[in-house]
Amino acid sequence: MADRILVLYGSYRSDRQGIRLARYLVDAFTEVGADAELIDAKVLDLPILDRMYKEYAAGKAPSALEELAGKIRTADAFVFVTGEYNWGVQPGLKNLTDHFLEEWFWRPAAIASYSAGRIAGARAALAWHGTLSEMGMVVVSSTLAVGGIGQALDADARPIGDGGAALAQAFPRFAADLAWWAEAARAQRQTKGTPY
């Protein structure tokens, strides 16, 4: 059974570079046999959070929320691709995640961070770790951190230069870690259900 992986990306910037990392990950997970899909917050263009998905009466949520809720509920794992804004998380990605809560529960998440500079979004990755844990996900220990994003992936999301080579070398372990937890969580949900 192929793991269903949602790759979530949240930059709204016109010259966003992190979309290259998100596309690379979708392609790389697909190559290793996963069913990966990009969830781009800018394309979805959800409103700033006013009402969570669960706060709508059944059948009354906006269609974009309804469709995304279904994708989240049927996913085996999530990858959060995050840039770093002033030592923090991207508001677009945070807004997307905050529309949901129980839909995320009992599945693993992995974090891939990036920046234009050498810090590679590490501070945003650290901030996401606690947030995702609070939202009911198990955050795997493997992470990807890509500094100099514009020199690590070309416009077609292909690895280039030393940064791209390091990303390609790190991806197999990242993917294997997420796949192990996805399989474990799926087996547990199927055999024992969830505690609540």
* Domain at 29, CATH number: 3.40.50.360
Residues in the chain where the model's pLDDT stays below 70: none
Q: N- to C-terminal Cα distance for the chain?
A: 26
pLDDT for 100: 98
| Overall number of domains in the chain | 1
Query: Looking at the chain, how many residues does it have?
Result: 196
Which amino acid is residue 189, in one-letter code? R
| Ranges assigned E (strand) in 57-103 | 77-82
Tokens of 31: 């190559």
pLDDT for 142: 96
The structure tokens 């991207």 sit at: 90
User: What 3-state class would DSSP assign to 125?
Assistant: helix
pLDDT for 85: 87
pLDDT for 196: 86
Compute CA distances 64 → 71, 109, 144, 193, whole Å.
11, 22, 29, 28
Element (H, E) at 91: helix 91-98
What pairs with residue 77 in β-bridges?
A: 5
Sequence-distant (6+) residues with CB within 8 A of 67 are none
pLDDT for 49: 96
- Nearest C-alpha neighbor of 87 from the set 127, 118, 132, 114: 127
Give the other-Cβ count within 10 Å of 14's Cβ.
Answer: 6
pTM: 0.97
pLDDT for 98: 97
pLDDT for 87: 87
The answer to whether the CB of 81 falls within 8 A of the CB of 25 is yes
Q: Domain range for residue 69?
A: 4-192
User: What 3-state class would DSSP assign to 153?
Assistant: strand
